[in-house]
Amino acid sequence: MAERVVENLNQALHALLADDPALTVLGEDLVDPYGGAFKVTRGLSARWPDRVLSTPLSEGGIVGVAGGLALAGQSAIVEIMFSDFVALAFDQILNFASKSTAMYGRRVPMRLVVRCPSGGNRGYGPTHSQSPLKHFVGIPGLSLHEVSPFHDNRAVLAGMLATGRPGLLFEDKVLYTSRMYADGVVDELFRYDLIGPDGDVARVRVDEEEQADCVLVVPGGLAARAVAVARELLLRDDIVCQVLVPSRLWPLDTDTLLPPIARAGRVVVAEESTAGGTWGAELAQVVHRRLWGALRAPVRLVHSADSVIPTAAHLERTVLVQDTDIRQAVKEVVSGD
């Protein structure tokens, strides 16, 4: 059986520290035996005590220190314990790390990744369950990625560092304990491949099936949920749905995303962030502008409600995007014409 996502991330960090003596990993409570709030950094500090640092509770300061290491030509990976707290590092991300790549009139490589465990469904409540990616969309010089069960994190992290642009890696917390997909196989019905110049977009589709009724685009955190929806749509509603999961969410890889959307003519973009100023809205406006003639229905967005995220499970469900919301959206888009 394939490894769990948390193991994949952990192995990725082990490999990167081994490959790159200039890399430092820092964040709160990272060192062993604790190994990070979600155990992603387990075992790292035992092997590299000088390059894996537990820090004070100082998100802005830590990202600043990482920015300093990057400025000095080093690489740095920061773990923010809960992505909600990346708000405290907003200045360092917006005004220092991303700006420094260009504001001095020349390219300054900043090899810096900020890892952000995100998302709800774990009952952590309003300030520990958000998906704050949308607040970072459109910052020049900043890349946004999300962990998915299709993308090997060693390649993702190494690729992010190699660009010389600072990046945020969102990690939906529900993924940690789920399994990676491997060898192009999702289940007995669906297969996947990695498309685009860097293999950045995972494409999940019914075996041998070329024509889809609808394309469902989701960040990695929703990948398994989107696949479950696609499966149900196929078996219960006879709707063929292709799922696209980009690893890099910003800047948008439109060259890779648009052709399959154009072929299907229908697209649903689902994400867990709350309503307003979403990543999906950005994708939608590009699809509308570039594919207007090819679309059979307007782009449909699915996201969580415009609400704080409650703690109690029965209340949390009323706010966070549910599989049934995604399924309903696809059905409406497909039956709409």
Partner 1 sequence: MTATRTEAPTIAPTRLADADLDLLLLIRHFELALLDMFGRGELHGTTHTCLGQEYVPVALRPLLTDDDFVFSNHRGHGHYLARFADPHGLLAEVMGREGAVCQGVGGSQHILRDRYLSTGVQGESVPVAAGVALHLKRTEPGRLALVYLGDGTWGEGAVYEALNMAALWGLPLLLVVENNGIAQSTPTVAQLAGSIGGRARAFGVDHLRVTSTDTEVVRAALTPVLRRVRERSTPYVVELLTHRVGPHSKGDDSRRPEEIAHARAHDWYARYAQAYPEQFGVHDERQRAYVAQVVADVAGRPASRWAEADRG
- Residues lying near partner 1 in the complex (CB under 8 A) are found at 24, 50, 55-56, 58, 60-72, 74, 76, 91-92, 95-96, 99-108, 140-141, 165
The distance of closest approach from Cβ of residue 27 to partner 1 in the complex, given in angstroms and rounded to an integer, is: 13
Residue 70 vs 81, nearer CB to partner 1: 70
CA distance 305 to 134: 14
E strand spans, 272-323: 300-302
CA distance 237 to 201: 26
Shortest distance, CB of residue 104 to partner 1, whole angstroms? 4
Task: Please report how close the Cβ of residue 64 comes to partner 1 at its closest, in angstroms.
Answer: 3
Three-class SS state of 95: helix
Answer yes or no: are the C-beta atoms of 234 and 188 closer than 8 Å. Answer: no
The nearer residue to partner 1, 34 or 90, going by C-beta atoms, is: 90
Q: Which is nearer to partner 1, 64 or 120 (CB)?
A: 64
Pick the closer one to partner 1 by CB: 102 or 305.
102
Residue 89 vs 302, nearer CB to partner 1: 89
Instruction: State the maximum Cα–Cα separation within the chain, in Å, rounded to a whole number.
Output: 61
Smallest separation (angstroms) from partner 1 to the CB of 96: 6
Q: How many CB atoms lie within 10 A of CB 249?
A: 26
Q: How far is the CB of 93 from partner 1 (least distance, A)?
A: 11
Closest listed residue to residue 119, CA positions, set 97, 134, 98, 106:
134
Tell me how far apart the alpha carbons of residues 5 and 336 are, in angstroms, rounded to a whole number: 37
